[in-house]
Amino acid sequence: MAAVTLAETISMEAAAMARGWTEEGLIDAAGERLGLAIGRHFPRPGSAVGYLGKGHNAADTLVALRILRDRFGWEISIRTAYRMETCAELTVRKWAELGSPAPWEGSVPWRDCRQPLVLLDGLLGSGAAGPLRGPLIPLAHEMADLRRDAGARVAAVDLPSGIGADSGEILPDTVTADITFMIGNAKRGLLHSHAAAATGALAVVPVDALTSTRIGSCELISPLALHCGKQPRPFNFHKGMAGRIAILAGSQAYTGAAALAAAGALRGGGGLVTLFVPNDARAVVSAKCPPEIIVRGFNDPRELLEFQFDALAVGCGLGEMTGSAAEGLLDLIAQSPAPTVVDADALNLIARSGKTGILGESHLLTPHPGEFARLAPDLAGLPREDTARQFTDRVPATLLLKGSRTLVTRRGQTLWSNATGSPAMASGGQGDVLTGVIAARVAIGDSPVEAAALGAWLCGRSAEIALSEPHLSEDSLAASDVLHFLGAAYQDWRSAGR
pLDDT of residue 69: 98
CA 45-145-80 angle, 5° bins: 70
Domain ranges (residues) in the chain? 3-214, 239-495
Place 157 in a pLDDT band, splitting at 50, 70 and 90.
very high
Q: How many CB atoms lie within 10 A of CB 231?
A: 8
Residue-averaged pLDDT of the chain:
96
Q: What is the mean pLDDT of residues 375-382?
A: 94
The class (CATH top level) of 239-495 is alpha beta
Tell me the C-alpha distance between 316 and 490, whole Å.
24
pLDDT tens-digit map of 219-261: 999 998 999 999 999 999 999 999 999 999 999 999 999 999 9
pLDDT tens-digit map of 80-114: 999 999 999 999 999 999 999 999 988 888 899 99
Q: Position 38: which residue type? A: I
pLDDT tens-digit map of 267-310: 999 999 999 999 999 999 999 999 999 999 999 999 999 999 99
pLDDT tens-digit map of 304-336: 999 999 999 999 999 999 999 999 999 999 999
Place 1 in a pLDDT band, splitting at 50, 70 and 90.
low
DSSP string for 433-460: HHHHHHHHHHHHT--HHHHHHHHHHHHH
Place 131 in a pLDDT band, splitting at 50, 70 and 90.
very high
pLDDT of residue 228: 95
Question: One fold for both 3-214 and 239-495?
Answer: no
Superfamily (CATH) of domain 3-214:
YjeF N-terminal domain (3.40.50.10260)
Tell me the C-alpha distance between 59 and 81, whole Å.
14
pLDDT of residue 197: 96
pLDDT tens-digit map of 179-222: 999 999 999 999 999 999 999 999 999 999 998 877 888 999 99
Residue 126 reports pLDDT greater than 90: no
Residue 446 Cα distances to 437, 441, 490, angstroms: 12, 6, 15
pLDDT of residue 397: 98
63 in Cβ contact with 35 (< 8 Å): yes
Q: What is the mean pLDDT of residues 65-94?
A: 96
Q: Could you tell me which of 241, 362, 257 has the C-alpha nearest to residue 312? A: 362
